[in-house]
Structure 1
């Protein structure tokens, strides 16, 4: 239900507490005390049949006896009474309930199910049950049993754990850190991470969102909401259980590498979230990201009056994987002209212990102008030779002077010692300050990681990659045949067929039931002076090494014959119950300067298919050099995946070894992602080793596990089990307009910002007012980003383009609710092109999209004076009614299943 009625949770006009109590230490008494002490301005009703008053406030036996209609009901009664209380809350017109009570159970017939049945059909929002409650300091709401009310601020905290939420409120209070809201999710029967991310993404009081996560249930909804929120403000996450063991034993190396926490890490990265690993880092990261714009890159310059602390900062930067900026020769010459001869002549720029304000000014200006520097860390060690406050004031003046200039670079500060006056100068101009050089470098790396996450967020890979042609039908036939036979693994010949169908180079394999057949299969290879390998072939033996079932480097017919006899005998001895179908024969691949890699598909219970890449070989789990990514992938995302491994450095040229063809490696990863989409019955795929050198890649050994696809594990209408919907290229089309004119319609892409700016310049003020219900002339990057940066899961925006000039003619947008029941539309056509049928065609395609994703209705609001839009809606079959809350608006509604869809 997304943000529907969440205003009643965070800014209710009235509150009732059911289960209010006078008993000291009870939850009901604590909630009442917190509500009153927080200064909630609206009426507070107390409900408990045992009391006539509580702390001087009248109490009534039931919600029906309250003298007002409560918008929000807080429930603290015993578990068995909760469904009835919520039913009564629905009856009296409450819009939301916070259920603090625990112990409602789970599953069919449970109290939890009864609670859902009482609330959901009526649209009542439920926070909890089994939660700490909700705190919204800006409206004086503390509907929780926390020990302390948070101070008002601009950080929103969403926590699965009530204890963590309460602890962070205490932690923040001790450091004067305030919150826009604090929410404990508890069992999250209704309101979940996705809903709250949607809410706080548009909340003007929230600057950054903090998440404490233990697990995600609806991964598609979470990813959709997280990606939308991260586009508008920083989202920082801590996830517990980083070292917990996976829920099942993996059957392949790829599956073993794709541990649950590693998959969460990949999901957070793809969603544009910044992950930290400790609670105190939540606030540090939010503070840094909230005060500084993104760094343009990773290169840090360090300016200090103490050489030792500069070296420590460099060490910490290297530890965290950040590169030190290489200063431009002109910058070095400029510093030479303003610094004493004893300065460091390198980065870190040590301007010596007697550095005064002028020296700090000149040095900082030079570094900010340096083309190879992306951010500057300025540090001061107090000495008797110069004023720390004067140095800070000088830094502040430089920042002020450049505040409105183009390409402003982030500046971070460390002023050691109790330098409150100095820090005040830096705070005034938005320079975050840190207690130590280590904290400052970590803060800079938050900027770097956040920028990288934002870049990943902007990627919208197409549904159908254009770099290759795949034979999906063959791959599906091979897998279907194996499933019909009740097999969970493809045999080696089938593996080769699947990989070849997707253009992945692989060594061939031949089946042989006897030693003689093996010799015949190997003969062409042996005749050319090559060698072969033989491997046991059995549907019951997955790991061939377990039965000594592999023989390599066989260079003669005799060697092949003897090897097959030994392999078959050994397998029958060690696994007498196994079905033995013979052996497979493979040519030995000789690439002396190749690198052994691993690539594959793993299946995660929460996030679905995951692409795994890393260093391969027999000790792959011990080496544990891997990176994961959620599909879909394009080549840029695939190269990014490769770059996050240590083996990426070995792909470069060194000594007499030429660089490997990294694009060929990346292309394999993209193909695997496409295979995961096209054949969801492939549950695990393991290529190990994948050999890579300057000539390309080849899969030497591979395994594929298959299982019937249970259907979509995630909410959402698209065909695959991906949690991120690819760019829907299939919705690109040419449309004929009246008078022989044509237009090209496609989904909006993130890079369309300039296109929209040019389009808005050709829309009149009056048409903009009719579309956005107010005068709009300034289109900020943030405003355009909301229109162009889509994840295609819940929203679609289609642009109409002139096929010749590429100019934008119009756009239509549809935003579905989180349950895929209704969608709200908006449309705008260029003012000089109205009446050409552009809007009509865009509306038709939008309605078609709504039907394709299973929406029941499309709705919108139209200004009563916008007679042209109202007439078009009527022709398209919308029902048009006056808006009950605003006489200037008309509500329009189309039943997608039963309405007129021309």
Structure 2
């Protein structure tokens, strides 16, 4: 883990603390994956039983520890002394593997807690999969485990293997090979199938985990654990249900930046239940939401089992492409065409050969070569021709990656060609994939390439699809951490104004907002709406129309009906008073006939807007696993026919909003086509961000549609809106939460420096990266030295990859507070100080770091930032805060003592330690 040191100056003029964050060597899950002693509860000698198989696997694959059989009816099992219960063991154990019947398990877990066991694997089945009684037993298990610090994998699982240490706590028939891939599966049956396949294909694992029902340890725990494991280079997952979505996404976002995470999810074709009242609900399927969530966290999703391993292999072996442009090198035209089709079908592109590349290839290839991409080097190509063509093609700046295809022909030597190409595996800085087509004749060449870290595929179209997955993975990661445009601040009263509208409706026992209320709610968040007036009679309708100006539109005003067109509730292009009166009567009569008198409360009157732009839809609905989900795409009456839409999880930044727009076909039109002026996409990005804040800050909203949202070169305008609320019977604590923790607005507070300068102390945002660059430009060498214990060049400190870790934080696992000063001279915001709190989730503690710009030192800001970090830690139920301080930094030591830290000298680290129990 990269060290995180903090410096700067405190109010005394001394340097602020130097803080180091490390992963703790003692992880709670170590008891499961690195146990020194294991008890097998339910061990038996019955042939073919789970209890016998688990015990045999543990003793026949030495892991460096002791195994104790636990069986109340036997004195020994497989020749090993057995004990009646955990209390009778001669020593405490780290791990209990439980294979007894389900009804006995809650009591055994209670015994584990009483005897100090830290980890348990419940292999037993018969829990929630059998119904309510099983679910109740799971709840009992969890309650017992929470009394101690016991972590549990299972129930209803195959178990856990750590092939690198020899641990095999499963009832599988064989031990997995050691390797660097972490494999997690929710299906024990799939585990056994993958294990069998891996043995035949010589695939190895750092961990092989059957997760089961996830009563305790879930996806987030295991992704975090494998992410910190230096022996794991990539993580592959077979997933059926998410469990704790926020934990899953938080861990995935933290790990995916450094280690590929590839997921195969079952049930892609099952759509979530559709809400008839919402277009958005009808357009979002559960797998689409899952895919959007993975995209947001940098996870790669695949659709076939073999892709799990092939993508883990290729991402581990080869550099990631910078773009979608592939150069195909082949000795046969047909396979090159197949690869091209697969590339283009999945969104990739052929690299255009530069004139320099064509000229260089002309020097080494026969005149009949294709002179285009795919580069057909002809069927008589020898190893030297392959090598020279690859070397030239790899240097083309238009190419992001290379695919080399070989078909065995009379003049072809697959083995020698592979020998020639292997030296380019790590020299081109671009991914090289290979497809050596054939069987035994190409086997040795394929083996040579694989050993050289060039991934091979039996078919060229499969290789092209793998390249597409690679560049999409790269593009997605880059997009997530691309610096957004500065966010246009909204009114501080937006939440209060919106909440008042919602509360008024709920007090009237309504969960459907009227059109007027819906538009008022949108307006509170800066979303432009069309002028709308309410009329409860023909005369009022005429008055409203004349005040607005003809032509106008009349729409049903109802507190109960969501789709106005279904009951004849819309009349368009009314040009005079007579038309308005007639339209009023038509709407009233139609609604009364189709829905009943009680559903008509009048009409709304709006100006007739010329639809000279594009009709879009912007909405949000609930996913049962991920909570609120955003939808954007082509709108209008045929929205569910065209189904041109993209999904994303809130909250959005302007960058994420643009990426969402780019996944729709309508964007091409919005950018301007056939001589039409483009829509202001920057303004549209901001509107999407505002909308995501509305969804995130108003959890009472169950569903919301803006359809249509009119987008033209001149304006953006919400013409119609429909909002459905959670009823008052849903407690505030039970309202769905965002899967990604939103910006913590509660920690935005004004403060005043000692010299009277007003500032705002607030959580950092991705948009702050340019301000952080300016902040680093203000630091003296002394401050930099105290921050990193050596002089670190400005170019290093402001590198985008470095600032990602500071600005793009996950508020669910860390906090960074900045001092935001508005400079009246420059009329710009400036960051003048940063305080960070980085949590060690497995230990429920955190370390702090502070850095203050030189100009604003000795103004009390370091003290105030640390005080607010302590407040945040209290609120997050963090139990312990620590920090490392330079010995000469007596000022920061004094600040820590003043705020309640215990400060002492550590001879081992030659630093002062600051610790606080919360």
Q: Same fold (TM over 0.5)?
A: yes
- Shift of residue 76 of structure 1? 1.2
Taking the aligned partners of 2:654 and 2:619, their CA distance within structure 1 comes to 16
Q: Which moved more, 1:417-426 or 1:805-814?
A: 805-814
Change (3 A) 1:710 1:887: same
After superposition, give the CA deviation of every residue in 1:632-659 in whole Å (9 maximum; x if it has no partner). Answer: 1122211110110122223233324333
Aligned residue number for residue 827 of structure 1: 849
Task: Name the CA distance, whole Å, in 2 between partners of 1:46 and 1:356.
Answer: 63
Aligned partners of 1:766, 1:598: CA distance in 2, in Å?
Answer: 52
Which residue of structure 2 lines up, in the alignment, with residue 29 of structure 1?
52
- Distance (Å, rounded) in 1 between the aligned partners of 2:610 and 2:830: 54
CA contact (8 A) 1:301 1:376 kept: yes
> What do residues 379-430 of structure 1 show as CA deviations (whole Å, max 9, x unaligned)?
2222223433333333323445x36xxxx22111112223233234433442
TM-score, with normalisation over the residues of structure 1?
Answer: 0.87
Specify the alignment match of 1:726 in structure 2: 743
Contact 1:159 1:185 in 2 (8 A): yes
**Alpha-carbon contact 2:773-2:798 (below 8 Å) kept:** no
Greater relative contact order, per chain length (Cα 8 Å cut-off, separation 6+): 2
Q: Provide the rounded CA distance (Å) in 1 between the counterparts of 2:822 and 2:541.
A: 60
Find the partner of 2:267 among 230, 237, 241. Answer: 241
Moved more, 747-756 or 179-188: 747-756
In structure 2, the residue matched to 1:165 is: 191
Q: How far apart are 1:703 and its partner, in Å?
A: 1.1
The structural deviation recorded for 1:765 is 9.6
Q: For residues 134-213 of structure 1, what are the structure 2 equivalents within 5 Å? A: 134-213=160-239
Look up the SS of the partner of 1:315 in the other structure: helix
Aligned CA distance change for structure 1 residues 675 and 808 (closer, same or farther; 3 Å): closer
- In 1, the alpha carbon distance for the partners of 2:556 and 2:833 equals 62
Specify the alignment match of 1:87 in structure 2.
110
For 2:903 and 2:112, locate their aligned partners in 1 and report how far apart those are by CA, in whole Å: 32
TM-score by length of 2: 0.86
1:37 to 1:109, Cα distance in 2 relative to 1, 3 A: closer
SS at match of 2:87: helix
Question: Counterpart in 2 of 1:252?
Answer: 278
Q: Indicate conservation of the 8 Å contact 2:650/2:738, yes or no.
A: no
Q: Aligned-pair distance for 1:855?
A: 2.6
Indicate the SS of the match to 1:60. coil
Q: Closer, same or farther in 2 for the Cα pair 1:277/1:712, shift >3 Å?
A: farther
Q: In structure 2, do the counterparts of structure 1 residues 469 and 846 end up closer, same or farther at CA, with 3 Å as the change threshold?
A: closer
Q: Describe how 1:384-463 pairs up with structure 2 within 5 A.
A: 384-399=410-425, 402=427, 408-417=429-438, 418-458=441-481
Quote the residue 2:121 is aligned against. 98
Provide the rounded CA distance (Å) in 1 between the counterparts of 2:192 and 2:367. 55
Deviation at 1:751, TM superposition (A): 5.2
d(CA) in 1 for partners of 2:710, 2:853: 58
Q: Decide whether the 8 Å contact of 2:644 with 2:666 is kept in 1.
A: yes
Q: Is 1:606 aligned to 2:625, yes or no?
A: yes
Quickly say closer, same or farther: Cα 1:301–1:278, change in 2 above 3 A.
same
Aligned counterpart for 1:223 among listed residues 249, 267, 282: 249
Please tell me whether the aligned partners of residues 179 and 206 of structure 2 are also in contact (alpha carbons under 8 angstroms).
Answer: yes
1:713/1:194 Cα in 2 relative to 1: closer, same or farther (>3 Å)? farther
- Give a deviation string over 1:743-767, Cα, whole Å, max 9, x none: 9997486959989999999789998
Answer yes or no: is the 8 Å Cα contact 2:61–2:166 preserved in 1: yes
Structure 1 stretch displaced more, 443-452 or 736-745: 736-745
Q: Tell whether the 8 Å contact from 1:269 to 1:456 is kept in structure 2 after alignment.
A: no
Q: Residues 95, 521 of structure 1: CA spacing in aligned structure 2 closer, same or farther, 3 A cutoff?
A: same
Answer whether contact 2:185 2:209 (CA < 8 A) is retained: yes
8 Å contact kept, 2:747–2:762: no
SS of the residue corresponding to residue 210 of structure 1 reads strand
Residues 803, 704 of structure 1: CA spacing in aligned structure 2 closer, same or farther, 3 A cutoff?
closer
Evaluate the alpha carbon distance shift between residue 662 and residue 889 of structure 1 in structure 2; reply closer, same or farther with a 3 A threshold: closer
Kindly state the Cα deviation for residue 22 of structure 1 after the two structures are TM-superposed.
1.3
| In 2: Cα distance, 1:504 partner to 1:742 partner | 29
Deviations 1:206-248 (A, max 9, x none): 1111122222232222221111111220011122222223245
Label 1:162 to 1:711 Cα distance change in 2 as closer, same or farther (>3 A). Answer: farther
Q: Is the 8 A contact 1:847 1:858 kept in 2?
A: no
Q: CA deviation at 1:372?
A: 1.7
Q: Deviations over 1:700-745 (max 9, x none)?
A: 2221112357435599xxxx74523338795598885899999999
Does the alignment pair 1:894 with 2:916?
yes
In the comparison of the two structures, how many residue pairs are matched? 874
Answer whether contact 2:158 2:212 (CA < 8 A) is retained. Answer: yes
- Between the aligned partners of 1:289 and 1:568, the Cα distance in structure 2 is 63
Task: Pick from 269, 284, 307 the counterpart of residue 333 of structure 2.
Answer: 307
Q: Does 1:660 align with 2:679?
A: yes
Superposition deviation, residue 893 in structure 1: 4.0
State yes or no: 1:844 paired with 2:861: no
Native 8 Å contact 1:461 1:727 kept in 2: no
- Distance across 1 between alignment mates of 2:493 and 2:358: 54
Q: Secondary structure at 2:147's aligned position in 1?
A: helix
Instruction: Provide, for residues 792-819 of structure 1, a one-character-per-residue CA deviation record: whole Å limited to 9, x for no partner.
Output: 2211245789999999998654233559
SS at match of 1:346: coil
Map of 1:900 onto structure 2: none
In the TM superposition, residue 190 of structure 1 has moved relative to its aligned partner by 1.6
Q: Which stretch shows the higher mean deviation, 201-210 or 126-135? A: 126-135
Alpha-carbon deviations, 1:103-149, whole Å to 9, x = none?
34569993333322322122111112222211111111111122332
RMSD: 4.0
CA deviation after TM superposition for structure 1 residue 204, in Å: 0.8
Other-structure match for 1:502: 525
Call closer, same or farther: CA 1:769–1:692 in 2, change over 3 Å.
Answer: closer
| Residue 157 of structure 2, aligned match among 118, 122, 131 | 131
Provide, for residues 264-292 of structure 1, a one-character-per-residue CA deviation record: whole Å limited to 9, x for no partner.
11111111111112222211211111112
Counterpart residue number, 2:876:
854
In the alignment, structure 1 residue 674 sits paired with structure 2 residue 693: yes
Q: Which runs of 5+ in 1 are unaligned?
A: 771-776, 897-902
- Describe the superposition over 1:477-523 as per-residue Cα deviations: whole angstroms up to 9, x where unpaired: 22221121111111122222222333323222222223333233333
Q: Check conservation: 2:542, 2:577, Cα contact below 8 A.
A: yes
Q: Which residue of 1 aligns with 2:732?
A: 711
The corresponding residue for 1:359 is 385
User: Quick one: distance in 2 between partners of 1:703 and 1:135?
Assistant: 52
